[in-house]
């Protein structure tokens, strides 16, 4: 899925923060990197210490100042730059959710350049994209998409990237609408609240992308072009790669559903597809009809 070149994204409120550290290099980040990505935000703790040697310690002592994304003005900018693609996604996500949530308050989207500190721990490509509820902020280091390609064989192209940022936005919606407080963490497992929270965020991302071509800028230009099947498969591939069972197989060779925190690859693809094809009304992962 690509942006229409003339679409106006100049109103984005995305910022960049952190240091330009060379986190990905050589052998890159192993399977533990994605495991950290999964468990860290769920537990609300900084687990980047598990990454051993991935962060450049000489540059990790402090974060640089905040930089606005002033160079991201058009859809053409979003098609050329991942940073601007994230900024464009922020504009479209805010447009979408403002139409579906009364009194919608947008989260803050921060592009992480190397790493930066947050109230939920250190944000970096070692941790992966995450939402920090106390800050109502989404943090994404775009180099994480290259980790998905190098270490997990994901395509991680445009629609996969939009799916991932849309998933984190889904957590913001769950936070401001009370879903998180109504369904607090009750442990792990396929039926846990944590898994249902994650699968609902997948569904919300799918619902947004299913409707996104109907959203236009102030000039009436659609922000995004209709995706083709290859691009949809790209998003489904990303959902598969971040499934608990897939990660467990790669890390230990076995699968333990009782330790699931985000759902299986099949579940994540299923709920993304449900949202994409059927909209927000199909995203009740806490309802009686829930079947995983």
pLDDT of residue 30: 24
Task: Give the pLDDT of residue 1.
Answer: 77
- Please write the tens of the pLDDT for every residue from 182-235: 999 898 998 899 999 999 999 999 999 999 999 999 999 999 999 999 999 999
Would you say residue 267 lies in a domain?
A: yes
Q: Structurally, how many domains does the chain consist of?
A: 1
Is residue 260 a part of any domain in this protein?
Answer: yes
DSSP string, 207-274: HHHHHGGG-B-TTS-BSBPPP-HHHHHHHHHHHHHT-HHHHHHHHHS---GGG-SS--HHHHHHHHHH
| pLDDT score for 127 | 83
pLDDT at 205: 97
The ranges of the chain with pLDDT < 70 are 19-66, 69-70, 288-290
Residue 50 inside a domain? The answer is: no
**Domain span at residue 167?**
66-282
The reported pTM is 0.85
- Euclidean distance between CA atoms 162 and 172, whole angstroms: 15
Residue-level pLDDT at 34: 45
Q: What is the pLDDT of residue 150?
A: 86
pLDDT tens for residues 249-261? 888 889 999 999 8
pLDDT of residue 195: 93
Query: Is 197 a member of any domain?
Result: yes
The verdict on residue 102 lying in a domain is yes
pLDDT, residue 183, reads 94
Asked if residues 133 and 104 have their Cβ atoms less than 8 Å apart, the reply is no
Q: Residue 19 has what pLDDT?
A: 60
Does 11 fall in a domain?
no
Looking at residue 289, what is its pLDDT? 64
The reported pLDDT for the residue numbered 250 is 81
Let me know if residue 29 belongs to a domain: no
């Amino acid at each position: 899925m690509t942006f229409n070149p003339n679409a106006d994204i100049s109103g984005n409120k995305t910022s960049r923060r952190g240091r330009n550290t060379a986190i990905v290099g050589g052998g890159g980040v192993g399977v533990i990197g994605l495991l950290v990505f999964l468990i860290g935000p769920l537990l609300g703790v900084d687990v980047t210490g598990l990454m051993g040697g991935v962060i450049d310690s000489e540059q990790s002592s402090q974060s640089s100042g905040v930089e606005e994304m002033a160079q991201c003005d058009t859809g053409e900018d979003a098609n050329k730059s991942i940073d601007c693609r994230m900024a464009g996604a922020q504009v479209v996500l805010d447009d979408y959710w403002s139409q579906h949530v009364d009194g919608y308050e947008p989260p803050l989207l921060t592009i992480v350049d190397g790493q930066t500190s947050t109230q939920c721990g250190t944000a970096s490509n070692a941790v992966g994209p995450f939402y920090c509820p106390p800050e109502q902020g989404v943090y994404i280091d775009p180099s994480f998409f290259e980790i998905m390609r190098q270490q997990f064989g994901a395509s991680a192209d445009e629609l996969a990237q939009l799916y991932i940022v849309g998933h984190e936005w889904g957590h913001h919606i769950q936070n401001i609408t009370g879903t998180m407080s109504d369904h607090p963490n009750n442990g792990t497992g396929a039926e846990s609240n944590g898994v249902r929270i994650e699968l609902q965020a997948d569904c919300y991302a799918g619902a947004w992308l299913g409707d996104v071509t109907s959203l236009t800028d102030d000039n009436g230009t659609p922000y995004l072009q209709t995706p083709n099947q290859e691009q949809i498969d790209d998003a489904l591939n990303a959902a598969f790669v971040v499934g608990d069972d897939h990660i467990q197989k790669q890390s230990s060779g076995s699968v333990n559903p009782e330790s699931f925190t985000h759902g299986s690859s099949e579940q994540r693809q299923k709920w993304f597809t449900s949202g994409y094809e059927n909209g927000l009304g199909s995203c009740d992962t806490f309802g009686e009809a829930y079947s995983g």
